[in-house]
Structure 1
Amino acid sequence: MSKLSALTFTRNTGAKHTATVIFFHGSGANGEHMQEWVNLMTKNFKFPQIKVIYPTAPLQPYTPAGGQPSNVWFDRADINQSVAEKLDSVERMGVQVKELIKSEVDGGIPINRIIVGGFSMGGALSLYTGYRWERNLAGVFAFSSFLNNQSIVYQDLIKSSGIKLPPLLQIHGDNDDLVDLTWGRNTYNELKKYGVNGEFHVMPKLGHSINKRGMNIISDWIVNLLPDV
């Protein structure tokens, strides 16, 4: 799998900022596409005090695509909540994500002024990040995302009972034909059971996609967590 240097980033704010949002795209896409999609849905996702980073996942074999190379954050046995995680693949990406966050911290952004979030697989990566690798983040958001039923995230949270965790915002369409709404709800309820506080919003008549209403909810949530200082 490609190393961190192969990841690219697109920033939509100037150099002066006091906080960072990292927005991970879904499987098969890229950071530039994610940024264009967000900008198409809402004009409210640009913040004077916040730098938004849209990374691109490395090209690697993806089992649900017949093993063909795809820009994905990690491999999966199948797009199904009941299968086991491919933990080696997930953990390799974890190293790169932690390096990306560290680069922001080294640049002067406190860890508690960084939010991670994403769409579909990118949202799942954000859940791994905020509830397994970097629990001092300001928040986590996930749009049309899920974790596997026996996820290592849940197992880790059981062992870490009582610690403070980043707040969660989850959004899901009720007409999602790729990631069933019940998978998103199950994920949210499991995380809540293990101490994660947050909110879950259902988007009526929305398939496997982001929408204007959902992105505006995320934008307002971000501003609330990362006010100008």
Structure 2
Amino acid sequence: MSNTTTSGSGSRSTMKTFEFGRTHVVRPKGQHQATIVWLHGLGDKGSSWSQLLETLPLPNIKWICPTAPTRPVAIFGGFPCTAWFDVGDISEDGPDDLEGLDASAAHVANLLSTEPADIKLGVGGFSMGAATALYSATCRVIGQYGNGNLYPVNLNAVVGLSGWLPCARTLRSRMEGSHEAARHAASLPVLVCHGLGDDVVAYKHGEKSAQTLNSAGFRNLTFKAYNGLGHYTVPEETDEVCNWLTARLRLEGSYS
């Protein structure tokens, strides 16, 4: 599946097509009440997360696990691997690959746009997938992608594990003066989790991202820190995700 993005507002001079990999779907075992697109980390693929998500006690959720395009990645010296966008260094000061971010956020929105009208929609991810999920959250509340195109779906929940917030520096200025963006930000539930022992995406980046979102008006944000947790997930964290999603999406069938 490919998405074509236009860089620059209204300019059609530079078109880049990203070829997305295979999408894996985990069907709900119970009544379908919510659909969540879950995004893997750098160099991974959708299938590895679909296997874990299948084991979670969330029978009312349909999980869609796409695979990122394979592209040269600056952090690996230009070596190609699966990546939702290009990244040179993980910090608030690093340049943002807006074109790649927009293409991946649009791919997520496209996957959600065909779901039935009464189904709640969400996006979540791990590491670079979490960064893309949090970027999607900002597109949703502002109502448009970084390139100015309209963001087409309503998100009901966003989860980011071991990630960071791209375009953090420009978020507040993009939201300023828009009452609608402030209203959407205040009501959108966001869960951010990070391990204190993360040696790939430092804990401070997760914490700073949560603070940036909060100060930009994301009032319905939960931040969880895990002692001793590195750049991976543990049952304690997935339990938190299950409880949080069940409560925020008001899923039927108690989580046990």
Q: TM-score range by the shorter chain?
A: 0.7 to 0.9
Counterpart of 2:46 in structure 1 is 31
Question: Which has the higher Rg, Structure 1 or Structure 2?
Answer: 2
Count of equivalent residues: 220
Q: Deviations over 1:122-147 (max 9, x none)?
A: 11111111221457311111111112
What secondary structure does 1:69 align onto? Answer: strand
Closer/same/farther in 2, CA of residues 27 and 154 from structure 1, 3 Å limit: farther
Structure 2 residue corresponding to 1:52, chosen from 43, 46, 63: 63
Correspondence 1:11 to 2:11: no
Structure 1 residue corresponding to 2:184, chosen from 132, 142, 164: 164
Counterpart of 1:182 in structure 2 is 204
Distance 1:58 1:110 in 2: 30
How does the TM-score come out when normalised to structure 1? 0.86
Counterpart of 2:131 in structure 1 is 124
Structure 2 residues without counterparts, runs of 5 or longer: 1-16, 141-150
Q: Deviations over 1:151-184 (max 9, x none)?
A: 4444433353432231111110001111111111
Normalized per residue, the structure richer in helix is 1
- Answer whether contact 2:194 2:224 (CA < 8 A) is retained: yes
Distance 1:152 1:7 in 2: 32
Structure 1 residues without counterparts, runs of 5 or longer: none
Note the aligned Cα RMSD (angstroms): 2.3
- Answer whether contact 1:82 1:149 (CA < 8 A) is retained: no
What secondary structure does 1:222 align onto? Answer: helix
- Answer whether contact 1:131 1:157 (CA < 8 A) is retained: no
- Answer whether contact 1:178 1:208 (CA < 8 A) is retained: yes
- Answer whether contact 1:116 1:141 (CA < 8 A) is retained: yes
Counterpart of 1:93 in structure 2 is 104
Counterpart of 2:252 in structure 1 is 228
Counterpart of 1:115 in structure 2 is 122
How does the TM-score come out when normalised to structure 2? 0.77
Could you say which structure has the greater relative contact order, defined with CA pairs below 8 angstroms and 6 or more residues apart? 1
